[in-house]
Structure 1
Amino acid sequence: MDGERTREALNSNGQGRISAGKRNFLIGGICFLLLAVSGVFLVYENGRVYRECYVEAGVEVTVRDFLREPEEEAYFTEDSDEIDITVPGEYHVRIRAGYFTHKSTLYITDTIAPQGEPVKVNLELGQECGADAFVSDIRDATNVEASFGVQPDFTVPGKQSIEVLLTDLGGNQTTIVSELFVSQVVSELTVEAGSEPPTLGDFVLAGEEAEFKTDIGSYDYTVPADRMVRLQVDGVDYKAEMHIVDTIPPEVELQDVHDFTLLPKEPEDFILSVEDVTAVTAKFVKAPDLSGAGEQTVEISVTDAGGNETVKTAKLTLEKDVEPPVISGVTDLSVLAGGSVAYKKNVTVTDNCPEGLTLTVDNSEVNLSVEGTYPITYIAKDFAGNETRVTAQITVRPRVYDEREVYVLADNVLAEIFTEDMTPEQKLEAIYSYNQSHIAYVNHSERDNWVRAAYEGLAEGRGDCYVYACTAKALLIRAGITNMDIAKIPTRSNHYWNLVDVGYGWYHFDTTPRAKDHPHICMWTEAQLMEYSAAHSNSHNYDHSLYPEVN
């Protein structure tokens, strides 16, 4: 009963439940709030990307250029136009940024005129070229077309001023001023090596009068080279480059070769003949195998100065060499003690393979200074190693020195150094000069035989003071000049020289050279020599009682 009254009381006051109007109002508010939030979100999203973007041709374009705020995850979608920054135009792109894909338009414009550098062009009469030949280093973000402002006349020799218009894809234009020279002469001429020198007609394209300023016939047309030729046509000087070339390969004829193993082979061994205007070189395409017997094919490459190559083949047949050499003419020998021997004189060697053939003489047991009989062995060896030995003997006989032999030698010397109009004094000077220039000083000689000493000086050209004095003695005797031997008083050293008399008394005559002061002791007086001797450790101190008085 009480509950029912309470429910009725609540209902009568309108409390405890939401009315329909309030509910509708609340739902409408919530919807409005959602729409407002959605609108703000959409406005925010749509404002993330620029609807239009403008850029100069050649400037790199990235997705960041379209975003109001940086976003690392933004990218062009696949259905966007492909952007070419070198082509002006309108490009439609779609950009994924945030939760949505946005549309934008890129406008590439070209407002900068192209640039370029003028190029002077030389053409031969009758040749033509396009406008782009007169310009280099063209710089522009877009493709550039070159055209003539005024069409050149390629049929008129001489210089012309040329205007070239450079126009890019944006319609921007630049004028380049250059120069054209139309030549009456070819710029270059190619001549085959071995040909006759070219004529004016080969160089000159047009003109009334022409002449060479270069001696065209002085060049070697067998050697490939580039030559500068100077000409004058109608009073105008020209230069042309002449290329002497070799384009024809050599004509080669080979021959087969039959030889022994191991012997070295050169390409030239197979070449029978070569015909080419220029110099040629030959080589093996692959080196032949020379180690074994048998037949093989050899390829020879012959190349001329122009680089032209001819390759030919030949047969190489090799056999092993087993035949030893043959030595002929070996006999026993005889020689005087102290003499020399030509061991190989009259000795010959033959072999079926003469290449690489050697002949040696083993004379290791021979002593030419000591009398006796010694063995010698002749050894011949060919390239294959086949060897032949022949033995003989050499007898060393005692040496007998004969005045007659020495006088013959002396007479031969005097015939060379004397003239018919010489005075005795001049003859002495000639003998003095001969001894000093033809005898080499050595520190020892045998001093028991003046003939032997004279022989050593005249025939062998060496010896000590005793040899110098005895050689002078032999020459003085044969010259008819009175002379006498003289010697220093023996001390730790000995010395020998001569006294001479040409008709007015004795004088000192010493042809032995002295290293320090080089005295010229030719017809010195006693006073001169004694003064020198005293100053040089008594070099010429002698026993005056044993010799005649000296002037």
Structure 2
Amino acid sequence: MAGSTINQDSNRYKRRRNKKRKMARRLFFMVFILIIAGTIGYFAGEKAVFASIKKAVVLEVGEAPVELGLFDKSGKGSFLTDTSSIDMNTPGEYSISIKKYFYTVPSRLIVKDTIAPQGKPVEVTLWKGERVEATALVAEVTDKTEVSISYKEEPDFTRVGNQETVIVLKDAGNNITELVSNINVLDDKVAPVIYGVKDIITAYAGDTISYRTDVTVKDNSNKEIELKIDSSSVDSTVPGNYTVVYSAEDGAGNKTTKKATVKIMERKVTEDEVYALADSVLEKIIDDSMSKEQKARAIYSWIERNIGYVGKPTSFDWLKAAYDGFTKKKADCYIYYSVSRALLTRAGIENLEVVREDGGHYWNLAKTDDGWYHFDTTPRAGGGEFCLLTDGQLKSYSDKHKNSHLFDADNYPRTP
């Protein structure tokens, strides 16, 4: 009995185990079938979604906006690409991404330019030798893109009479329109006329001469004609009579010339003119409370800052030299001496002219409250300051710089 009971329990255990195994196998096969079915469904859905989106959409330039319905008739998708950033006025091809359900579908937008530009021909009349660009022979040009305008063949602008010319309009899509226009070339045998040239132009030596003042050119073509002026023979710094030549030439080669005499006169500068210029400087740099030494140093500093050196010889008229220094702000040593002379004199400081023994350099002696001192405002390549120096200080510099200030001391008052 005991053995029979054990066998019965063993059989029940086996049946339960087998039953669990069968249930596990059924569950595995059900899950496997569901996965296979889901995968097939996903790919079937993807294929259907991809098939519902156009692979490419073609639009003409200028068409806007880019609508979803052009790509997906169902309208259930949405653009992932920012289509507002696409330049619809420029031909090209653009990648487009569309989201539909949980699928991302690629597509393309192709912007084409298939429409040729339009325009109206314009007839142009011009004088022989004149030239016009092709743009002058066409009007009312229209197109969605930028249009280039050119001649198919360059016209002969020297051939008198009517001639047909072909104007080529080409847009960004390489669409071409050809227009036939007319150019009427007139013979021109009339030279330009120059008005306003004076027989004699007068100026003082050193002045700037305005040759173009009141001079104009007229031509029968009503085109602007260049006025050429040859003043190469005029030396405005040297008194005398010179010739200036005016000329003008039109597109047909007709040329006119006129001559004028340029009379350069020596400027006669008055003492009043020079002192007026000196006073205008002094009122800004000195006052009555200053000593003569302080005034002299202020004058030296102003000249150093405001007048530049130029090694061009000048006339030895101290008034004219001072005038040139004040007005042109350029000086050689004689002009520096002359400007210093004017300023020192008007500041109430007695001064004398000092000349180097070889006559190659000029400077001043200035008398302050305690005596005479050398006052040389001309800048030197060797450097140094020459404001109120004694004889000994000046000689020391001169000995070291090739006798730069060698002078006959017996002809001048001695410094302290």
TM over 0.5: yes
Q: Which residue of 2 aligns with 1:453?
A: 321
Which is richer in strand?
Answer: 1
State which structure, 1 or 2, has the greater radius of gyration over its C-alpha atoms: 1
CA deviations 1:469-507 (Å, max 9, x no partner) are 3234445556x373635535313x622234557877665
Residue identity matched to 1:318: V
Q: Is the partner of 2:319 in helix, strand or coil?
A: helix
Q: Which residue of 2 aligns with 1:331?
A: 198
- How far apart, CA to CA, are the structure 1 residues paired with 2:413 and 2:148? 82
- How far apart, CA to CA, are the structure 2 residues paired with 1:220 and 1:475? 73
- How far apart, CA to CA, are the structure 1 residues paired with 2:197 and 2:94? 64
Pairing of 1:339-378 with structure 2 (within 5 A): 339-355=207-223, 357-361=225-229, 368=236, 371-373=239-241, 376-378=244-246
Deviation at 1:300, TM superposition (A): 0.4
| Equivalent residues of 1:508, 1:522 under 8 A apart | yes
CA deviations 1:110-168 (Å, max 9, x no partner) are xxxxxxxxxxxxxxxxxxxxxxxxxxxxxxxxxxxxxxxx999876338x9xxxxxxxx
- How far apart, CA to CA, are the structure 2 residues paired with 1:185 and 1:278? 29
CA deviations 1:146-196 (Å, max 9, x no partner) are xxxx999876338x9xxxxxxxxxxxxxxxxxxxx9598766655544444
The question of 1:511 aligning with 2:380 is answered no
| Equivalent residues of 1:330, 1:392 under 8 A apart | yes
Residue identity matched to 1:519: G
Deviation at 1:428, TM superposition (A): 4.0
| Equivalent residues of 1:207, 1:233 under 8 A apart | no
The question of 1:434 aligning with 2:303 is answered no
Pairing of 1:373-522 with structure 2 (within 5 A): 373=241, 376-407=244-275, 425=297, 428-435=300-307, 439-446=308-315, 448-475=316-343, 480=347, 482=349, 484-491=351-358, 494-499=360-365, 508-515=374-381, 517-522=382-387
Unaligned runs of 5+ in 2: 1-38
Deviation at 1:466, TM superposition (A): 1.6
Higher mean C-alpha displacement, 465-474 vs 259-268:
465-474
Pairing of 1:143-154 with structure 2 (within 5 A): none
Higher mean C-alpha displacement, 372-381 vs 322-331:
372-381
Find 1:249's aligned residue among 116, 122, 136: 116
Find 1:157's aligned residue among 42, 46, 57: 46
Change (3 A) 1:258 1:153: farther
Pairing of 1:131-210 with structure 2 (within 5 A): 156-157=45-46, 182=50, 190-199=58-67, 210=78
Deviation at 1:375, TM superposition (A): 5.4
Deviation at 1:412, TM superposition (A): 6.8
| Equivalent residues of 1:185, 1:206 under 8 A apart | no
CA deviations 1:336-363 (Å, max 9, x no partner) are 2444432332111111124473434465
CA deviations 1:7-56 (Å, max 9, x no partner) are xxxxxxxxxxxxxxxxxxxxxxxxxxxxxxxxxxxxxxxxxxxxxxxxxx
Change (3 A) 1:358 1:443: closer
Q: Which residue of 2 aligns with 1:91?
A: none
Q: Is the partner of 1:396 in helix, strand or coil?
A: strand
Change (3 A) 1:443 1:291: closer
Residue identity matched to 2:254: N
The TM-score, its normalising length taken from structure 1, stands at 0.55
Change (3 A) 1:443 1:245: same
Residue identity matched to 2:46: P
Higher mean C-alpha displacement, 317-326 vs 188-197:
188-197
- How far apart, CA to CA, are the structure 2 residues paired with 1:418 and 1:226? 75
Residue identity matched to 2:176: E
Higher mean C-alpha displacement, 349-358 vs 316-325:
349-358
Change (3 A) 1:383 1:407: farther
| Equivalent residues of 2:225, 2:250 under 8 A apart | yes
CA deviations 1:504-535 (Å, max 9, x no partner) are 766554332333x4334455566654433232
Deviation at 1:248, TM superposition (A): 2.9
When the two structures are aligned, how many residues end up with a matched partner? 371
Q: Which residue of 1 aligns with 2:9?
A: none
| Equivalent residues of 1:298, 1:313 under 8 A apart | yes
- How far apart, CA to CA, are the structure 2 residues paired with 1:250 and 1:520? 77
| Equivalent residues of 1:483, 1:501 under 8 A apart | yes
Change (3 A) 1:503 1:300: farther
Deviation at 1:299, TM superposition (A): 1.0
Q: Which residue of 2 aligns with 1:262?
A: 129
Q: Is the partner of 1:533 in helix, strand or coil?
A: helix
CA deviations 1:385-429 (Å, max 9, x no partner) are 2233445444333331233444555567779x8699x98556643
| Equivalent residues of 1:213, 1:232 under 8 A apart | no
Change (3 A) 1:507 1:364: closer
Residue identity matched to 2:301: E
Greater RCO structure (CA 8 Å; 6+ sep): 2
Unaligned runs of 5+ in 1: 1-149, 161-180
Change (3 A) 1:230 1:539: farther
Which is richer in helix?
Answer: 2
Change (3 A) 1:365 1:527: closer
- How far apart, CA to CA, are the structure 2 residues paired with 1:292 and 1:229? 57
Residue identity matched to 1:403: E
Q: Is the partner of 2:45 in helix, strand or coil?
A: coil
Deviation at 1:257, TM superposition (A): 0.8
Deviation at 1:200, TM superposition (A): 5.3
| Equivalent residues of 1:186, 1:205 under 8 A apart | no
Q: Is the partner of 2:324 in helix, strand or coil?
A: helix
- How far apart, CA to CA, are the structure 2 residues paired with 1:510 and 1:185? 94
Residue identity matched to 1:442: G
Q: Is the partner of 1:311 in helix, strand or coil?
A: strand
Deviation at 1:284, TM superposition (A): 0.8
Deviation at 1:317, TM superposition (A): 1.3
Residue identity matched to 2:115: I
